[in-house]
Structure 1
Amino acid sequence: MSPITTQQPLVLPWQGVWPKIADTAFVAPNATVIGDVEIGADSSLWFNVTVRGDVNFIRIGARSNIQDGSVIHVTRAKHETVIGDDVLVGHMAVIHGCRLESGSFVGMGATVMDAAVVEGGAMVAAGALVSPGKVVKSGQLWAGTPAKYIRDLTAEELESLPKGTAHYANMGRQYREMLAGGGA
């Protein structure tokens, strides 16, 4: 069996501004983080994630999870991207110049565009496109292209959100420890 590589993520400054990444965050070895970016404690950026804070800033709170292949970007001089605490972002999502409030969920392959807001306790379905300036209200599920209100979330769905972020914070810790130790 081959040894585990200790390759580091690509972390680059933009115009002299370096990303700030909490010591307890997990950033996968092939993730890229550029510029004016802050990543909070116990958050995780998984494989092939790009977070590019070059023409505006990006803030990712604590225990938030950005899954494989997702892209987080901004709009020059207009819209920063702010992702709160305990946010789940599914695989291959595009988060662009918007706000994902604490406790929100964005499904796999979804896109959230400039000046849109996903409130805490709201869900954007897999593959949805949240158009510029739309607000996904707390307790609602939005789906489609363009995304629109589908229904209120069930109590079970609302209860599952913090369980998901706790799971990924734990997974991130395990990956960080595995890579730091160089073994399985």
Structure 2
Amino acid sequence: MIIAFNKKMPQFNESNFIAENATLIGDVVLGQNSSVYFNSVLRGDSNRILIGENSVIEDMCMLHVNAFDEDIIIGDRVTIGHKVMLHSCKIEHDTLIGMGSIILDGAHIGHHSLVAAGSLVTGKMEIPPFSLVVGSPAKVLRKVSDKNLKMIDFTWKFYVNRSKEFMLNEKN
């Protein structure tokens, strides 16, 4: 469902896969080849949600912005895992946020990072680039490994291709 709010309409194009039961509200901008999967809600009613190119919002995610001039900014080639909650945070490029994680207001995840499933990144937390982040509350465990970086790269590519398959299936 695509809903305008305060005279702002979500912005996307034919390269984006948006699942039939996903909801985009207000000031939401999707970059080229990015996708929003089933039962996810992106509510840009107070501020902007900006998603870069080749990024994926997996199933049942909740993205919302606060009323204090804090957007959600997601870089290119980012995977947001199933059931993740993002609130007014910044996630740099080539990053994977594991399933069920929560990233709170003002948190900043550096590029090429991996946030493990179920992690709670507290408000205003600064995560350096190339970090493996785990726990609740989250802590930087170590630098990501080459294996982690390959998984991050594989995952966004997989979902860009899967999104194209879904779009072809919708046309048939």
Q: TM-score, normalised by structure 2?
A: 0.97
Residues of 1 paired with 2:92 and 2:130: CA distance? 12
Structure 2: give runs of 5+ residues left out of the alignment: none
Q: Answer with 74-83 or 24-33: which moved more.
A: 74-83
Alignment partner, residue 92 of structure 2: 101
Match of 2:2?
Answer: 11
CA displacement at 1:177 relative to structure 2: 1.2
Alignment of 1:32-71 (within 5 A): 32-71=23-62
The structural deviation recorded for 1:22 is: 2.3
**Secondary structure in 2 aligned to 1:30?**
coil
SS in 2 for 1:23: coil
Q: Which residue of 2 aligns with 1:141?
A: 132
SS at match of 1:78: coil
Choose 1 or 2 for highest CA Rg: 1
Report the AA paired with residue 152 of structure 2. L
How big is the shift at 1:70? 0.4
Kept in 1: contact 2:16–2:30 (CA 8 A): yes
TM-superposed deviation, 1:23: 1.4
The 8 Å contact of residues 10 and 25 in structure 2, kept in 1 or not, is answered as yes
Task: State the 1:52 CA deviation.
Answer: 0.4
Distance across 2 between alignment mates of 1:114 and 1:155: 30
Q: Which of 133, 138, 151 is residue 160 of structure 1 equivalent to?
A: 151
Which amino acid letter does the alignment assign opposite residue 48 of structure 1?
Answer: N
Pairwise CA distance, 1:60: 0.5
Q: Where in structure 1 do 4 or more consecutive aligned residues deviate above 3 Å?
A: none
Aligned to 1:6: none
Which residue does 2:21 correspond to in 1?
30
* In 2: Cα distance, 1:63 partner to 1:136 partner: 22
Q: Aligned ranges for residues 62-141 of structure 1 at < 5 Å?
A: 62-141=53-132
> Percent of aligned positions with the same letter in both sequences?
33
Count residues in correspondence. 172
TM-score by length of 1: 0.91
Structure 1 segments unaligned to the other structure (5+ residues) = 1-9
1:178 aligns with 2:166: no
Give the Cα–Cα distance (whole angstroms) in 1 for the partners of residues 130 and 75 of structure 2. Answer: 16
